[in-house]
Structure 1
Amino acid sequence: MFSLMTPQLVVMGGGTRKETATLLARLGIRHPLIVTDKFLVQTGVVGEIAAALRAAGLTVGIFDETVPDPTVSVIEAGVARLKTEAFDGLLAIGGGSPMDTAKAMAVLAKGGGAMRDYKVPASADQADLPVICIPTTAGTGSEVTRFAVITDEATDEKMLIMGLACLPRAAIVDYELTLTKPLRLTADTGIDALTHAIEAYVSRKATPLSDVYALEAMRLIYPNLRTACFEPGNHVAREAMMRGATLAGLAFSNASVALVHGMSRPIGAFFHVPHGLSNAMLLPAVTAFSAPAALERYATVARTLGLASAEEGDQAAVSALLGALSALNRDLTVPTPEAYGIDEARYLGLMERMAEQALASGSPGNNPRVPTVDEIVTLYRAAYR
């Protein structure tokens, strides 16, 4: 037995942001609160969408206090903003941070208490306000997932919030919103999406349907990632990346991520490394650690990415995959934690605590090879340089 969890409606294609008012009307939403950040307000993206909504007769509010790696205090401020008017929906515009912020706001507004009450292994299934997402990066897949990641400032812990309340009601996936994104952001979010697809496929919770999403996401992302980075105005590459990121989101929302993400979150929480970048730092080493426990699956990943033929053996295919992941990091100038500027003494001193947090998140338990704390510490040490 397996299940499939998806939004009610996903609208995808260039220019689809112009359909926002129509989509909200179909869902019966007349008074949305836009959840976004100040940068997107300044670029005019939010103003364009808000103006179209108002022209269609909707009453619109804006909460633009979201931050990278959304925090408990921001969620609480958002819930306070919700109480000021009779909002009937949340419209998240932005990358993973605004989308995760909106999801957490919906959860906390319904259940009350503290955000920590909803961290895994709790299941956040109840919310009154529907969340509609318009992603502006091709990476997190949060527009279609049942997850949110919220940082507890008091403990420097990235808490995984999971449940049906985090699953958006609908998403508008418009690749045109990514055309102006710089190389570093494109690279980091793109490797994040590729990691989602790979981890969903090798996850112990993979299903026949999540496999379909994961494999197609890989086919779209890998051959187009470099092009999207180095030719930012390339519509074909940008559209493929956006579609692939959404499919990867559907894959891991139903199969879960694994060890890379479990280890990545503490690096982000303690050292404020962007999520996609910390995934990229870890992906080659963690893949090498995990592959012996699922050689056939990783070999299929290699063949799907076009790195090995059907005639080549699994071991040769996996070797090609490991080489390709390292080459991708080199081509996209992914730094090591050391090169990023993370202090070695602090990093080494926190490795055991990071390993314990990684295991507690549950994600490493989905890995083909489930690690111990000591093995995670060894991987952190290996990744530093």
Structure 2
Amino acid sequence: MNNFNFKIPQEIICGQDSILKLPEILKKQQLKKVMIISGPNLNKMGVVKKITDILSCEGIEFVTFVEIEANPSVETVDLATKAFLASEADSIIALGGGSPIDVAKAVGVLAKYGGSITEYEGADKVPGTIIPMIVIPTTAGTGSEVTAFSVITDRKRNYKLTVFSYELIPAYAILDPNLVMTSPVKTAAACGIDALVHAIEAYLSKAASPFSDAMAEKAMELIGKNIRLFVADRQNEKAAENMLYGSMFAGIAFAWARLGNVHAMAHPLGGYFDVPHGVANAILLPVVLEYNALADEGRYEKIYHYIKNNKGTDNFIPEILVAEIRKLTKALGIPENLTTVGVTEDLIPAMAIDAMKSGNIAINPRITTQKDIEELYQRAL
């Protein structure tokens, strides 16, 4: 067993209407003015207004930056940082899925330490604590509210850079199931599979520990029992709650065990072809699981039982899990291959080079070369 360490340096508030505790959290930290970082769709849907109404009722000053796109860019981070500094706010509320949360983390770094987010690419380059932040997820998928990562697209390189530092973990997260119940069906499906991939890759990682295993197993249990129900009906309160909590547990798992080939390969798909992250993960998952089956030490069967919701399978082989994942993604309406989302063969070598730069390759359960990555992209086409 690997030596391991962990900590949970956050306060996480869960439950229906838990966003009403937001003013209490801000006052507890003696924060006077907050910037809300979110996206245009959430703004149009009135989700941002829900937060601003709560703040207004308590006389808390706020400003908003609601221009965060999918696969957010270095330029967007720069714009949001300038807006934050000009506003003289002292804190950030990140409202949304992974994109607004990733930008908020990056702004939290740059507003305090300056420079470009590209200067912090890699591990442990953030010198200390960042701007105080409260994260409110509106999707059950990314787990970004509990992770130490910020992923930002560098358009100049067609590359998704990753900033990794435990300083990025927000001090507070509010998990209110009411907010994820507004998810469109495609978002619910893609984000739900994204959360499942987080749990599976953390569970199979060479860096897994008893702590991360416990988080991953609970995540797979909650997601396996609820993802179909939630995608079928986002107004199913219990399914929404369980998906949100499952996503959070999966986030904690991969914050400490990291991920694998699926995520290493998914980021270039976003950088070169703007494929939504959850969709990229969902398409790649069965392909990578099939490749990693050679290294399975019995965990594929456990994963299968969480997804299938049964307790026993005679004569289990890893291919049974692969087939079940394909069946699940098809039922949820996920595209079956990369060709259907606009990916072309000519950029596979370039994407493979970028994928190999990911630290996730080193902890994938099966040793992987650049040639292997190219072949896996070919299979996924």
Query: Would the TM-score normalized by the shorter structure come out above 0.5?
Result: yes
Taking a change above 3 Å as real, the CA distance of residues 142 and 125 of structure 1, as seen in their structure-2 partners, is: farther
Of the structure 1 ranges 163-172 and 116-125, higher mean CA displacement relative to structure 2 is found in 116-125
**Amino acid across the alignment from 2:367:** V
Counting only pairs closer than 5 Å after superposition, residues 334-353 of structure 1 correspond to structure 2 as 334-335=334-335, 336-342=337-343, 347-353=344-350
Write the letter of the residue equivalent to 1:262: A
3-state SS, counterpart of residue 200 of structure 1: helix
Deviation at 1:181, TM superposition (A): 1.3
Q: Which amino acid is the alignment partner of residue 138 of structure 2?
A: T
Q: 2:225–2:306: 8 Å Cα contact kept in structure 1? A: no
What is the match of residue 15 of structure 1? 17
In structure 1, the partner of 2:116 is: 114
Query: How far off its partner does 1:128 sit?
Result: 3.5
Paired amino acid for 1:339: T
Paired residue total: 378
Indicate conservation of the 8 Å contact 2:202/2:254, yes or no. yes
Conserved in 2, the CA contact under 8 Å of 1:7 and 1:170?
no
For residue 12 of structure 2, give the secondary structure of its aligned residue in structure 1. strand
Indicate the SS of the match to 1:61: strand
* 8 Å contact kept, 1:179–1:232: yes
Q: In 2, Cα distance between the equivalents of 1:2 and 1:287?
A: 25
| 1:371 paired residue number | 368
Aligned to 2:272: 270
Q: Which position in structure 2 is the counterpart of 1:94?
A: 96
Shift in CA distance, 188/311, structure 1 to aligned 2, threshold 3 Å:
closer
Q: CA deviation at 1:156?
A: 0.8
Q: RMSD over aligned Cα, in angstroms?
A: 1.6
Q: For 1:32-181, what aligned pairs fall within 5 Å after superposition?
A: 32-121=34-123, 123-181=125-183
Q: Is the contact made by 1:103 and 1:165 (CA closer than 8 Å) also made in structure 2?
A: no
Q: In 1, distance between residues paired with 2:352 and 2:238?
A: 40
Distance 1:125 1:368, change over 3 A: farther
Stretch of structure 1 that moved more, 248-257 or 372-381: 248-257
Letter in 2 for 1:13: G
Q: Cα 1:348–1:56, aligned 2, differ >3 Å: closer, same or farther?
A: same
Q: What amino acid does structure 2 have at the position aligned with 1:367?
A: N
* Structure 1 residue 270: Cα displacement: 0.8
The AA in structure 1 aligned to 2:231 is C
C-alpha displacement at 1:225, in angstroms?
0.8
Indicate if the aligned counterparts of 2:273 and 2:342 stay in contact, CA closer than 8 A.
no
Using structure 2 for the length normalisation, give the TM-score: 0.95
Q: Which amino acid aligns with 1:201?
A: Y
Amino acid at match of 1:361: S
**Code of the aligned partner of 1:374:** K
Q: CA deviation at 1:309?
A: 4.0
Correspondence list, 1:126-275, <5 A: 126-275=128-277
Aligned to 1:324: 324
TM, length-normalised to structure 1:
0.94
- Larger mean CA deviation between 297-306 and 41-50 belongs to 297-306
Question: In the alignment, residue 282 of structure 1 is paired with which amino acid?
Answer: L
CA distance in 2, matches of 1:349, 1:293: 30
Identity %: 36
**Aligned-partner Cα distance in 1 for 2:310–2:323:** 12
